[in-house]
Amino acid sequence: MKMKRILYENIWQRLSAHKQMVFVAGPRQAGKTTFTQILAEDFNNSLYFNWDILDEKRKLIENPFFYEEVHRKDNSVPFIIFDELHKYSNWKNYLKSVYDRDKGNYKFVVSGSGRLDMYQKGGDSLAGRYFIFYLWPFTLAELAGNNLTFEQFLSNPIEVRAFPHETHSIWNKLNQCTGFPDPYLDGTGEFYRIWSNTYRKQLLREDIRDLASLRSIEDVEILFSLLPSKIGSPLSMASLARDIQVSFDSVRNWIEIFENFFMVFRIAPWTRKISRAITKEKKLYLFDYAGLDSPAAKFENMVALELFRAVSNWNDLGRGNFSLHYLRNRDREEVDFLISNNHDPFLLIETKLADDYASKSLIKFQKILNIPAVQLVNRGDICKLVSNNNLNIMIISADHWLSLLP
């Protein structure tokens, strides 16, 4: 079953209007191959290449410009998909030569699991020759068919609005199956558990071991197994290093590898001085979160991923320089999330499983920063505004508010 990813097709249309190649990156099995093949349906002439297929590897090595043999139905520009090409040791030099030779004659898209800008296996720079955007697993706004524009949201993120129907059932399904297309579309917990176990092993024992050149994967697997218990709290790498009796540098490197392969993402604390935030502990979340045991941790992780997706999309579209943070002071008072633009605070978000009264920390930090604030509750049919001096805090069901996140 192919689902059109309208949210990402809009990004594609914006970026593909230019001469540059377009890179589509993101987690393994998030739907990148299906997405690019759907894009190809809009072209009369198209060709799909996958480096993982031996015959296709040989084709490229024997004739670097093999794509010229694309079957043409007419004289329109052909659409060429390079999938998983980053696994080729000379991929950057290859793409540079392809682009410099044939830009304008073909529309090139390059897709791959992981950060396409992280693979530094030598080769010349591709600077100025590509735009990149990220395709994430399904999130609530995409599945609910959100029609709220970025401009409408930006003008007042806590305005009471009508929301799409069926948001609660979609949210519950995401809770059980995540937004990865295969388990989400199957819709059963049994299939999700089989899928998740296989997915984790493939990433750790195949992709990460091979591409990151790790000698032993055992300690890496142990580290990853410890991370679910750390969700929602500042992550101490020194503590993890002691727990598994490896060096601090090893833990730091392995977590960076998990990030590069989109197994986890981290958010830094927001401070007025950026240099301070760099040295403070970050919070870590999972892309595959449905197996988390703690309801509070799972809820916070789900909200984190929805916000992370939105901020990523806004930046990919050139809307600003947005980033996702958390807030914590010396007294350990904390607000779960803060969205900033050009490092200026824009919006505070707190998560609560059931509390429909504003948290003390949210009230305090809103008074200090003088910005809109929302408290997301994992219960249905809650929506109210609470006065906080000259501002309001919106307290609302998480599925309602997140379904309108552009």
pLDDT in tens, 149-180: 899 999 999 998 887 778 999 999 999 999 99
pLDDT, residue 122, reads 47
CA 286 to chain centre: 10
Given the candidates 3.30.2010.30, 3.40.50.2300, 3.40.50.300, 3.50.50.60, the CATH classification of the domain at 6-134 is 3.40.50.300
Q: Which long-range contacts (CB under 8 A, 24 or more apart) does 141-147 make?
A: 141/7, 141/306, 141/310, 141/402, 141/403, 141/404, 141/405, 141/406, 142/5, 142/6, 142/7, 143/170, 143/174, 143/179, 144/170, 144/403, 146/403, 146/404, 146/405, 146/406
Distance CA 271, CA 327 (A): 8
Distance CA 398, CA 298 (A): 13
Distance CA 316, CA 309 (A): 10
**What are the domain boundaries of the chain?**
6-134, 140-402
pLDDT, residue 121, reads 46
pLDDT, residue 123, reads 52
Q: Measured between alpha carbons, how far is residue 308 from residues 135, 156, 338 in Å?
A: 12, 19, 11
pLDDT, residue 306, reads 97
pLDDT, residue 86, reads 87
pLDDT, residue 278, reads 58
Total residue count of the chain as it appears in this document: 406
User: For 278-306, b where at least 16 C-beta lie within 10 A, e where not — what string?
Assistant: eeebbbbbbbbbbebeeeebbbbbbbbbb
* Segments of the chain with pLDDT less than 50: 120-122
Distance CA 375, CA 371 (A): 13
pLDDT, residue 166, reads 87
pLDDT, residue 89, reads 86
pLDDT, residue 285, reads 98
